[in-house]
Structure 1
Amino acid sequence: MKITIKAGSLMQGCLGKGLAGLLLSTFTLAAPALVQAKDAPIPPGAVLAVMQNVEVPAANEEVELEDGVTATFWYGKELDFDGKHYYAAFVWHTRDSAARQGEDFAAPDVQVRLADATFELTHPGQTPAYSILSIERKIGFFGGREKPEEVDTKRQALEHRTADGRLLLAVPTATFEDGIVTKGYTLFVFNPNKKPEDDGWIWSHVGQVRTGEDNSAACDDGAVMPCIGSDGELSFVAGQESLPQVQVKVSGTTFQGPEKVRPLVAADNLTYVYDSKTQQYTSH
């Protein structure tokens, strides 16, 4: 569902803060089931309202802002970390109208901007139960053709606690294009104890891991091209860096030449390592 915010509807100053608290108070009681995060404590409309400082109905997952930017709820996740309970919600944004002027469609390399709103459970059993920990309007870019990676609701997100007090979150994705499903995980680092002098954000997007593909929608049972299908099992392995290596153990089949298919073997397994210069995971 989509709502367009018209001029004059922005919440300002103390009134905005008060209304944000009222929104959380109301929506905590009436959170609907979500596709991205079932039975989430805060529905997408409340996330968008607090993040964009506008009024949004609870069930809405998308809001169009005045400059033509569209903000869309992407994924929500409850986390237990260092004895505290959090709810993190991620929102993606398109470019503004001026950037899209004259375009019939977005190019493959046009990504979307990611933002997050993080809430901490500070008053269990009360209304509101959650308080806003942080709102970050740019934690990275991902996707293509001005669309995000698509969340795969059939798989669970994976978590890894680091020795230096951070959390690596892997959100499963399955993006469909040209008859091919590409599976993977979008990676985020959570640093709730971040100090003002530390680099980065409380949440940072740190890359995309590919784990498999399936061309069954395009191969037509082998009549058009050979059919392949693969998947990968993700694991975290401590290395020399503070963030772990991400290893993918693959299985299934892949192409060997234009018309040949072969089974995947151990040599096809992938290892992703965090690059501190680009602040992204890259394959090795």
Structure 2
Amino acid sequence: MTDFINNVLIPGAAGGATAGLFALAFVVMYRTTGVLNFAHGQLVMLMPLGVLVVSDLWGLPVVLGLVVAVLVLAAVVLMEERVAIRPFVQSGHAMPWILSTLGFSVVLAELMAIPYRAQPVRFPWGISAKAHDLGGIQVSWAEIAIVVAFILLVAALTIFDRRTTTGLRLRAVAQDKDGAAAIGISPGAASRLSALIAGGIAAITGLLIVSTQLVSPELGLTFLFNGFVAAAVGGLDSLHGVIAGGFIVGIVGQTAATYMGGNYVQIAMFSVLLVVYLTRPHGLFGRASVRAV
């Protein structure tokens, strides 16, 4: 049992929390715009890379690096929302925004490769990834931090979504853009705010995952597929669904890696997605959109 906890449950939960953080950003954007942001992997890496550029290459304080990285990330997020997302929200087809967000991700990845010439770099200010023995259970502060941060973020966004005026406005736009516009709620403003919230999730995700990974423009892409599967399994319109989706994806993937080998991880996760969609076409907690005409 201890081997299962150490080899499957703990790393699976940490991996699931990582996938869940990606899924959470997907859901935040999708609920308001109907768009899945395939540039999110690069946005996740922009925060730690920005800190490294300011603090490592320029030799300025880490705190200043954090401030600059946040401002740059916010500017990039708003730029992407304006040029690669909002123009295609009302198109009625998925292909335009798939291509636009993928194109934005390629351009951003090329720009992010410039400072370190596309070489992976260690992030020296991350949370300790050293495993500690707790009665035979091996766990690190980095693993604990990402699970706790994931659950707290989902809880905070759920409260924001249900208990605040701004959250209720975003829900109104998510349910009926035309109806929301008719009562004075701007879908454009809702789209920008959702993009900034997703960008904030990207910043936190990036600073957490580089505790155990090297910083590189391609790193975010490694987790992007897992995040998409987690969002789809939980339901693309469900905030709390990302908890189930994330941990299912993480534990199933880690189980496959431990007992069958790394080559079977993607197969196992896709199989889970297939089974869920055959029985629940909108995900475990998703709902079919119903609109009265």
- Relative to the length of structure 1, the TM-score reads 0.27
Please say which structure displays the higher CA radius of gyration: 1
Q: Specify which structure has the higher proportion of strand.
A: 1
- Relative to the length of structure 2, the TM-score reads 0.26
Q: Which has the higher contact order (CA 8 A, sep 6+)?
A: 2
Q: Specify which structure has the higher proportion of helix.
A: 2
